[in-house]
Amino acid sequence: MSDTTATFPEDFLWGTATAAYQIEGAAREHGRTPSIWDTFSHTPGKTAGGDTGDVAVDHYHRRTEDVRLMAGLGVGAYRFSVSWPRVQPTGRGPAVQRGLDFYRGLADELLEAGIKPVLTLYHWDLPQELETAGGWPERDTAHRFADYARLVGDALGDRVELWTTLNEPWCSAFLGYAAGVHAPGRTDPVAALRAAHHLNLAHGLAVDALRTALPARAEVSISLNPAVVRPRTDSEADRDAARQVDALATRIFTGPMLDGAYPPDLLDDTARLTDWSFVRDGDLPLISRPLDSIGLNYYTPTVVSAVSGDAVPERADGHGGGARSPWPAADRIAFHQPPGERTAMGWTVDPTGLTELLLRFTADAPDLPLYITENGAAYDDKPEPDGSVHDPDRIAYLHGHIGAVHRAIAEGADVRGYFLWSLLDNFEWAYGYGKRFGAVHVDYTTQRRTPKSSARWYADVIRAGALPPLDI
Ligand code: IFM
């Protein structure tokens, strides 16, 4: 760990991030209809303790308090997502004004507090009716998403300058449709590949819809969670396993988005499952519409090896280790827990992966500015008797990773901002409320918010625009 101060560019954007279903609650208010996550979390056995987002951290009713909290921390930007079924119930037809008003009000409060609103259109809460009609494996869902993008663009284009189409489409496609550990809980690898393509198409169509709806100054982006894949050994077989996982995790999105084509090795690797005939003429030019920046979410690296013979491959890929794999056609690949300290998610702490990721995208997309749109860690934070919450592990994690961003900038990466995941403790999907990612602690009984030591530490970093030597 370096002990010299790392200074960031003056206009570097320091932010925090959340997502609608994880924080809002108010699941049935003002015309909101169920999303796939409402259905999934209400299905017995799908989430830890049967937790749901019905109430979450009640942000829908505490928005003003939460904006005040952020203002107190001095954050320059707030990345939030819009709940599709709140603004366009059932995923079709006209918008509900009250739903849009919630986000217009949020953006206004942020702007008044000097905080830049950063809007994500889709953070996994597909309207259930669209899933019932086939969900992301069906092409029509991409067109429904474009209509929704237009509605939101029209309503918030005057207030929001930085737009993200999808958050982590890998999770939507592969955790949702192959592994079944996320909503909608399907376990069909071909459906997952179809979903990935239709998410790509949805992104491209939404970019067009947003360009029509938004003023020219608006920036349009996407948040990906590329895997930083490392072969366990330098053997050819392990390196090939890493190549295969890289194609399934990252290039399945960046290929069509940045280069206008699916990687040939991905098509070969998955050929025994599908001929990809769901990709139609004209799709790829749409998917590769120019972007203004790329958002990257990073938590931990992935270590893989090739498995020979009949051995059952280890599946420590950090995605719940469910019975079904999220990796189509990769059944002879083992996923290993990287060595080192772990967070409460069991994810190994390794900031070097973040520098590596930023430099890879600098090489692959040299003209596109980058943002870290998510980075952070869950720990078992417990309030002290006086109510304060001390989380030195999270401070160390953030210190290491913000340092890794600084290193990447020093090596030439054009990184414009960093968004800490997450502002608040919240509903951590299938893990429920047991995993706390917040810089601000939430007492789930009283909904009381208490900034943890890491929040105060982050506020100091923001104020200084620099990373101080680690002193905890
Ligand atoms: O909580 C999630 C978030 O919704 C998406 N990215 C990863 C986070 C931690 O698991």
Q: Under a CB-based contact definition with an 8 Å cutoff, are residues 256 and 262 in contact?
A: yes
Residue 2's pLDDT band (cuts 50, 70, 90): very low
Q: Of 24, 168, 219, 428, which residue is the catalytic one? A: 168
Q: Is 168 in the pocket of ligand 1 (CB under 6 A)?
A: yes
Question: What pLDDT does 341 receive?
Answer: 98
C-alpha of residue 234 to centroid of ligand 1, in Å: 31
pLDDT band at 472 (very low <50, low <70, confident <90, very high): low
Tell if the pTM clears 0.95, that is, is over it: yes
60 to 32, 67, 269, 415: CA distances (angstroms): 12, 12, 44, 31
Encoded tokens for 135: 């969900």
How many whole angstroms from 428 Cα to the centroid of ligand 1? 7
Q: What's residue 162's pLDDT?
A: 98
Please say if the pLDDT value at position 3 is more than 60: no
* Residue 374 annotated to the active site: yes
Helix, strand, coil shares of the chain as percentages rounded to 5? Answer: 40, 15, 45
Determine which residue's CA is closest to atom 4 belonging to ligand 1.
19
Average pLDDT over residues 71-88: 98
> How many Å lie between the centroid of ligand 1 and the Cα of residue 90?
24
Partnered with residue 303 across adjacent β-strands are 230, 336
Dihedral over Cα of 65, 442, 300, 342: its sign: positive
Question: Is the model's pLDDT at 47 over the cut of 80?
Answer: yes
Buried b (16+ CB within 10 A) or exposed e, 89-109: bbbeeebbeebbebbbebbeb
The CA-based dihedral angle spanning residues 300, 305, 311, 317, taken in that order and rounded to the nearest 10 degrees: 10
Contacts of 287 (CB under 8 A, 6+ apart): 200, 201, 203, 204, 256, 257, 260
- Ligand 1 midpoint to CA 45 (Å): 20
Domains observed in the chain: 6-226+288-298+341-461 (3.20.20.80)
The whole-number average pLDDT for the span 217-223 is 98
Q: How far is C-alpha 85 from the geometric centre of its chain's CA atoms?
A: 19
297 lines ligand 1 (CB under 6 A): yes
Q: Tell me if 421 CB under 6 Å of ligand 1.
A: yes
**209-236 burial: b if 16+ Cβ within 10 Å, else e:** bbeebbeeebbbbbbbbbbbbbbbeeee
Active site (annotated) includes residue 112:
no
> Across residues 47-72, what is the average pLDDT?
98
User: Quick check: 465 pLDDT over 80?
Assistant: yes
Which ligand 1 atom is at minimum distance from the Cα of 297? 6
Residue 377 has pLDDT above 60, yes or no: yes
Nearest CA to ligand 1 atom 1: 428
**C-alpha–C-alpha distance, residues 213 and 147, integer Å:** 11
Chain segment 283-332, per-residue pLDDT in tens? 999 999 999 999 999 999 999 999 988 777 888 888 877 789 999 999 99
144 vs 3, residue with greater confidence = 144
Assign 35 a pLDDT band (cuts: 50, 70, 90).
very high
pLDDT of residue 310: 77
Catalytic residue, candidates 374, 384, 411, 428? 374
Q: Please report which helix (H) or strand (E) contains residue 304, including its range.
A: strand 302-306
Q: What is the pLDDT of residues 236-257, one digit of tens each?
A: 999 999 999 999 999 999 999 9
Matching residue, tokens 């998410």: 199
pLDDT per position as a tens digit, 99-116: 999 999 999 999 999 999
- Ligand 1 mean position, distance from CA 419 (Å): 12
CB count within 10 Å of CB 198 equals 28
CA distance 243 to 266: 9
Q: Which ligand 1 atom is the nearest neighbour of the CA of 422?
A: 1
